[in-house]
Amino acid sequence: MYRRNAWILHAVLITTVVIVAFPILFAVIKATQTRVDVLSPSLIPGTQFVENVRNVFLNANLLVFMRNSFIAAVAVTVGKTTLSLMAGMALVYFRFPFKRVVFGLILLTLMIPIQVLVVPLFDVISLQPPQTFAEWWAWISRPDRILFQPAEYGFGWANTYAALIVPFLASATGTFLFRQHFMAIPSSLADAARIDGATPWQFLRRILIPMSWNTIGALAVIEFVYVWNQYLWPKVIIRREELQVVQVGLNLIIGTGEGVEWGYVMAGATLSLVPPLLVFMLLQEQFMRGFALSGGK
């Protein structure tokens, strides 16, 4: 390659790297500045980082928001990966009737993003369950009303962790990823395991899981980031500040009135980026091999 071209290439790449990083670096620098400097265009790092972090953590509840997000993200990541692994194993290593129908029904949910269901899901989650046996019996004995009339009862989970976790535990994407991965494992391996008398449980533990770390890691990245970054659903279903997640919490810190403490907000934005960034960096290799390289298929 000509020397001149190499310089142009470096120039373009450096420019892009700066554009990609600039708003985040801007937030990080602003998080270190004093109340006065924050409102100036100055990009000189200040000395107030610890002070801003302490304020946003304790006075603006960021610690609580991050804890809530962390609980939800870890629970969904572990639960979803486990359920997807189980479903994928059933679909590949067992013969049972209606297998294609079952797989089709799981795959079909890829087309139904949970956000379009925000209104009915709100009812299903937030309405109170039947309080007495008589109510319960009257409800269950009329399946036509359950199906074709607006829901009367729900789980009563408004303002709970369950509302942030349970609806997201099953995954078409995850099941599909594991199924594709298992199908690519030579069948001779499963045959050999069976001939040696391995039970399905032993096969799962000794062979399948050790061979699936890339897929598990990829799915963990996708799900952790997905839950950590969620905004719409928590905003709607969680109305108590001490249970709110970090993304909506940031907006609460900005608040509505004048006099926003932008130093705190930028410290909050910066800190909220750390957990998903760590997960991504730690599992980047697995993510690349288990998902990105296969084109997400």
Partner 1 sequence: MKDNAVFTSRVLPWVLLLPSFVILLVFIYYPALQAWVLSTYRSNLFLNTRNYVGLDNFRLMFTGPLADKYIQVIVQTFVYGALVVGLGLSIAMVVATLASQNVRGARIYRLLLIWPFALSPAVAGTIFLFMFNPDIGSVNQVLDALFGIKPRWLDTPLLAFSLVVLASVWKNLGYNMVFYLAALQNVPKELGEAAAIDGAGPIQRFFRITVPMLSPMTFFLLFTNLTFAFFESYGLIDIVTSGGPVGPPPADGAGLTTTMIYQVTLDGFGGSGNTGLAAALGNVILLFTILITLLQFRYGSRRVQYGDN
Binding status of residue 143 toward partner 1 by CB under 8 A: no
Q: Is position 116 an interface residue for partner 1 (rule: CB under 8 A)?
A: yes
* 23 binds partner 1 per the rule CB under 8 A: yes
SS3 category, 237: helix
1 binds partner 1 (CB under 8 A): yes
Which residues, at least 6 apart from 109, have a Cβ–Cβ distance to it below 8 Å?
Answer: 172
SS (H, E, C) 127-152: CCCCCCHHHHHHHHCCHHHHHHCCCC
Asked if residues 175 and 106 have their Cβ atoms less than 8 Å apart, the reply is yes
Residues from 242 through 271 that contact partner 1 (CB under 8 A): 247-248, 250-251, 254, 262, 265-266, 269
Distance CA(245)–CA(292), nearest Å, equals 28
Residue 277 lies near partner 1 (rule: CB under 8 A) = yes
Closer to partner 1 by Cβ: residue 91 or 216: 91
Size of the site for partner 1 (CB under 8 A): 103
Question: Is there binding between residue 73 and partner 1 (CB under 8 A)?
Answer: no
Q: Check if the beta carbon of residue 63 is closer than 8 Å to that of residue 202.
A: no
Q: How many Å is the Cα radius of gyration of the chain?
A: 24
Q: Which of 224, 238, 216, 234 is nearest to 286 (CA)?
A: 216
Q: Is 207 an interacting residue with respect to partner 1 (CB under 8 A)?
A: no
> In 3D, which of 63, 58, 56, 64 has the Cα closest to residue 261?
56
In angstroms, the CA 266 to CA 261 distance is 9
Q: Which of 148, 196, 240, 257 binds partner 1 (CB under 8 A)?
A: 148
- Which of 63, 118, 162, 207 binds partner 1 (CB under 8 A)? It is 118
Rule CB under 8 A: say whether 227 interacts with partner 1: no
The verdict on 27 binding partner 1 (CB under 8 A) reads yes
Of 50, 112, 209, 282, the residue at the interface with partner 1 (CB under 8 A) is 112
- Does residue 19 touch partner 1 according to CB under 8 A? yes
- Residues for the chain: how many in total? 297
CB of 223 to partner 1, least distance (A): 12
Rounded distance between C-alpha atoms, residue 59 and residue 255, angstroms: 13
Cα separation values, 234 from 108, 121, 241, Å: 25, 12, 11
Q: Does 225 bind partner 1 (CB under 8 A)?
A: yes
- In 3D, which of 230, 223, 70, 72 has the Cα closest to residue 157? 72
Q: Would you say 25 or 71 has its CB closer to partner 1?
A: 25
Query: Is the CB of 243 or the CB of 276 nearer to partner 1?
Result: 276
Please, what is the minimum distance in Å from the beta carbon of residue 70 to partner 1?
Answer: 14
Among 96, 133, 141, 196, binds partner 1 (CB under 8 A): 96
Give 243 or 287: the residue with its C-beta nearer to partner 1.
287
Position among 21, 58, 138, 282 found at the interface with partner 1 (CB under 8 A): 21
